[in-house]
Amino acid sequence: MLTSASRHGLATLLLLVALALLPPALNALGEPFYIGLGTRVLIFAIAAVSLDLILGYGGMVSLGHAAYLGVGAYTVGILSFYGVQNGFVHFLSAAAISALVALAIGANSVRTTGIHFIMISLAFGQMLYYLAVSVSQFGGDDGLNIDAQSAFGGLDLGDPTSLYYVSFCILVVVLFGLDRLVNSRFGMVLRAVKSNEPRVRTIGFSPYRYKLTAFVISGTICGIAGALLANQNLFISPASMHWGRSGEILIMTILGGMGTLSGAVVGSVVYISLEYFLSRLTEHWQAVMGPLIVLVVLFAGGGLVALLAGRRVAGAGSR
């Protein structure tokens, strides 16, 4: 008899195997176009998983998470603008600058909780959005075209399949790394902070340090997702940093199931697939998507992961 944790691990493994087999399956079906859609799913899955670290495990509801997606993407765009094409420089810079931005924002915002944290994260996110709008040198409101993908020697990110597998590998590393993190002592304290912050203090831990560390790790990972997004679109605009985009990442995380990591991947698969296919059926696709999300939230407290497992609570959302 498998334990809940074993079932969850097995389901995650099956999900990753399915994602790994997607490009050859699509090629076999003569639908290689959808590899690009799959890449978009993976990129947003990385962003949603990063949000899950602070939302599902740290209890921090961020409405400004897309800011890091934009910072990562703009880092690649601006480096390309100045003729730097080295992929290692692109991705390391995207991660480092996102980490610094997350550190600056987190140092101020993680002192707060609840509605105050939501408002501060929203305010910082929108500040960066308007900063991107105002910098006309890099396209301002119109956005910035990127001449070519990041160069990694023999690896051509211009090839949709290569970009898919690079995104997939990063997602696997992120999932594995964060799974280790949330089950480490650091993760235990972070989850304890989510449940009872004052109590954690009386045990001898400063919740601030734990929350800030998680916030910076989360922002860094989301910045890497932004670098991938810039490589996929070869275009970056302030819209990627708008709070509406943060809301979408939040919905993906909640839809799949907070505090599960793999739930964020499921949420991304479902949200982006529905967005794509519903928008082809009707221009009023949001009118269908909205009620669907409401139904999942109402009838699957632990998100789609818990719903698929046939139970409401599986540690999901409450970890």
Is residue 13 close enough to count as binding other proteins by CB under 8 A?
no
315 binds other proteins (CB under 8 A): yes
Query: What tokens were used for 270?
Result: 């479902």
Which residue matches tokens 């601006």?
78
**Does 134 engage in binding with other proteins (CB under 8 A)?**
no
Query: Smallest gap, in angstroms, from Cβ of residue 258 to other proteins?
Result: 11
Q: Min. distance of Cβ 309 from other proteins in angstroms?
A: 16
| Residue 188 interacting with other proteins (CB under 8 A) | yes
Instruction: Out of 8, 90, 242, 319, name the contact with other proteins by CB under 8 A.
Output: 319
Q: Is 211 in the site for other proteins (CB under 8 A)?
A: no
Give the N- to C-terminal CA distance of the chain in Å, as an integer: 23
CB of 133 to other proteins, least distance (A): 40
Which among 139, 157, 138 is positioned nearest to 149, based on CA atoms?
157
- 137 or 202: whose CB is closer to other proteins? 202
Burial of 77: CB neighbours in 10 Å, binned 0-12, 13-18, 19+: buried
200 token code pair: 């954690």
Shortest spacing between CB 51 and other proteins, in angstroms: 18
Element (H, E) at 144: strand 144-145
Number of residues binding to other proteins, judged by CB under 8 A: 21
HSE, side-chain direction, 13 A CA sphere, residue 168: 21
Of 189-208, which residues contact other proteins (CB under 8 A)? 189, 191-192, 194-196, 198-207
Looking only at the bridges linking them, the beta strands covering 155-156 and 151-152 are antiparallel
CA distance 193 to 214: 12
Judging by beta carbons within 10 Å of its beta carbon (0-12, 13-18, 19+), is residue 235 exposed, middle or buried?
middle
- Residue 102 Cβ, how far from other proteins at the closest point, in Å? 23
Provide, rounded to whole angstroms, the least separation between the CB of residue 256 and other proteins: 18
Q: Is 2 in the site for other proteins (CB under 8 A)?
A: no
Q: Residue 6, interface with other proteins (CB under 8 A)? A: no
List contacts with other proteins (CB under 8 A): 185, 188-189, 191-192, 194-196, 198-207, 315, 318-319
